Amino acid sequence: MVTSSNWRSVFPDSGSSTAALNEKLATTTDPSVCNQSVQTVGDMLFFMVREGLGRKLIIAGEGEAGGRFSGDLEKVYDYQVKVCLLTTENRIALQSIFEWLIPQASGRQKASIGLGDRLGLATPGHIATVRNRNVMPILAQQSIRELDLTGRDYIEVLDAAAWTVFQEGYTHGYGADGDHLKRKDDVKMALDLGFSMITLDCSEHINDQVSSMSDAEVLEHYQQLDAGLRNHFEAAYLGQEFTLASGTTITFAASSFQKMVLVYVRALDFAEEVYQTLIKPANRNIDFEMSIDEVATPTTPQDHFFVANELISRGVELNSLAPRFVGEFQKGIDYIGDPNQFESEFKIHAEIADHFGYKISVHSGSDKFMVFDVIGRYTKCRFHIKTAGTNWLEAVRVIAEVNPQLYREMHEYALRHLDEARKYYHVAFNESDIPKLGTLSDQKLPDLMNQPAARQAIHIAYGVLLQAKTADGEYLFKDRLYRELLINQELYTQRLKEHIGKHLDLLNVR
Ligand SMILES: [Zn+2]
């Protein structure tokens, strides 16, 4: 919302009692005060205010803690007040006072949902969705690809989440996920910044070529592995039977065993190295996720068991593992594939995760309404699920509702630059399935965000749209988009609450 009122007018005009100010802040309906943000520390009050489209942190009263913040001192009536910008330094100072502002690991027992927020504006909606539900929100979650495409960095991502957690007074804990990190340097950077979750993308160490090798080639490559390692693998798995809680057994056929080893052996080494040299030495609770999902072939139960068993026997403490499930988990649209086959395989994946005690992680988890019930049921709500682009699509839906002209420009631009956008994401829609914009009235535009082809086109185009500039170097859409979303923050919150709430309802997270 745009605020024209002044938060100073809410202050009591006589005395300097913190209790009296607190009372006024708690009961005011003035939109310049973020009511939920008010926190008391000794004789000081910390709270957030709105000025125009911006926000500031206010510290009222005097005390040692105020010295940690940089800001301008002023008198509001008889109150001593410090007006602080929402800088990274002030965010870190605030985290030193309110521990719940520090990203925390979700652990293995509780459902968690990754809520990637590419614009840094979705947190009010995400908090409104998870409040009073038994799920840990991972409010800061971005991959390096997303940072590149949005022009943001990890510090901005953490700032955006923490300030809004404070604004909303959400004290139940949230996480920050360095998502799909492929390089040790990136893992180290994320850990140094305080991320509470690391999703290690092992795809570059998974050998997708093995499936097209001849038997002779497989044998040749297999024999190049260290003999001790081969002996260990063969003794540990061939001829062995592993029984899961339901009685389901996992066995390894000699005919495919060498192939499986060749596909994953380097990924195991990489995950072990990252864990032993970075995660473990960090010496704090970190949700360590191994992702093997961004590969060509689905993860079989044998693959899953082998990878998990090896990592755990090497001392790696996994918090979650993301297999590549059967069928297709394309971005921003429902599951593609046979839901019955998904169910019969997911059930075993969930059981393997239970066997080892970690959570199954479902990537590209947004909008998979067809299979959410299965995911919630077989994991008994002990899962991690990632969403990202769908939160951007709800932002675009709001634009279509409040500024049809801006939506039309963005839509046309996205379609003109589809080839560029497709370089970053695998999606399989046909452009011809997107209704022609000229045939649609303004009222019909938001409905495009219910149509798979249009959703996918807009989904993958976020980087193209956010970076588009005019010949004069002005942003073509970014500034207008942010402005509309800030003005219509309540509507965006409402749309997220409906959309992500539907996910959690079907997953049976109450
Ligand atoms: Zn993934």
**446 near 397, Cβ under 8 Å?**
yes
* Rounded distance between C-alpha atoms, residue 485 and residue 146, angstroms: 20
Which among 61, 66, 7, 52 is positioned nearest to 34, based on CA atoms? 7
Indicate where the chain has its CATH 3.20.20.70 domain(s): 101-209+267-389
Active site residue 303: no
Cα 232 to ligand 1 centroid, rounded to whole Å: 30
Residue stretches of the chain with pLDDT short of 70: 1
| Residues 197, 282 contacting (CB under 8 angstroms) | no
Q: For residues 340 and 286, is the Cβ–Cβ distance under 8 A?
A: no
Structure tokens given for 327 = 């069928």
Beta bridge partners of 201: 291
Q: List CB contacts of 68: < 8 A, sequence separation 6 or more.
A: 93, 96, 97
Contact call for residues 382 and 110 (beta carbons, < 8 A): yes
101-209+267-389 carries CATH number 3.20.20.70? yes
Locate tokens 């893992």: which residue?
A: 187
Run of H or E residues at 293: none
Tokens in use for 54? Answer: 């911006």
Between the CA of 452 and the centroid of ligand 1 the distance, in Å, is 20
* Gap from CA of 67 to ligand 1 centroid (Å): 43
Asked if residue 333 lies in contact with residue 453, where contact means CB atoms within 8 angstroms, the answer is no
Query: What is the whole-number distance in angstroms between the Cα of residue 209 and the centre of ligand 1?
Result: 20
SS3 279: helix
Catalytic residue chosen out of the listed positions 146, 289, 294, 351: 289
Q: Taken in order 287, 291, 112, 351, is the CA torsion positive or negative?
A: negative
The single residue listed with the structure tokens 């949700």 is 287
For 84-92, the CB contacts below 8 A with 24+ separation are: 84/56, 84/57, 84/58, 84/59, 85/56, 85/57, 86/55, 86/56, 86/57, 86/159, 86/163, 87/159, 88/155, 88/159, 90/57, 91/158, 91/159, 91/162, 91/163
Tally the residues of the chain: 510
pLDDT at residue 413, as a whole number: 97
Q: Which pLDDT tens digit goes with each residue over 213-229?
A: 999 999 999 999 999 99
CA–CA separation, 93 vs 377, rounded Å? Answer: 42
d(CA 43, ligand 1 centre) in Å: 47
Average pLDDT, whole number, for the chain? 96
- 289 classed as catalytic: yes
Rounded to the nearest whole angstrom, what is the distance from the C-alpha of residue 294 to the centroid of ligand 1?
Answer: 6
| Three-state DSSP state, 417 | coil
CA nearest to 28, candidates 44, 51, 5: 5
Residue 388 to residue 261: CA distance in whole angstroms: 32
> Which residues make Cβ contacts (< 8 Å) with residue 18, sequence separation at least 6?
40, 43, 44, 45, 60, 61
- The model scores a pTM over 0.85: yes
**How do residues 94-107 score in pLDDT, each as one tens digit?**
999 999 999 999 99
Give the relative orientation of helices 489-506 and 123-130 as an angle to the nearest 10 degrees: 40
Question: Quick check: 111 and 136 in contact, CB under 8 A?
Answer: yes
Residue 1, pLDDT score: 67
Catalytic residue, chosen from 146, 179, 293, 303, is 179
Ligand 1 centre to CA of 206 (Å) is 14
> Measuring CA to CA, which residue among 127, 120, 108 is closest to residue 173?
127
Q: Which residues pair with 505 in a beta bridge?
A: none
> How far is the C-alpha of 304 from the C-alpha of 213, rounded, in Å?
21
Rounded alpha-carbon distances, angstroms, from residue 287 to 3, 205, 282, 349: 39, 21, 12, 19
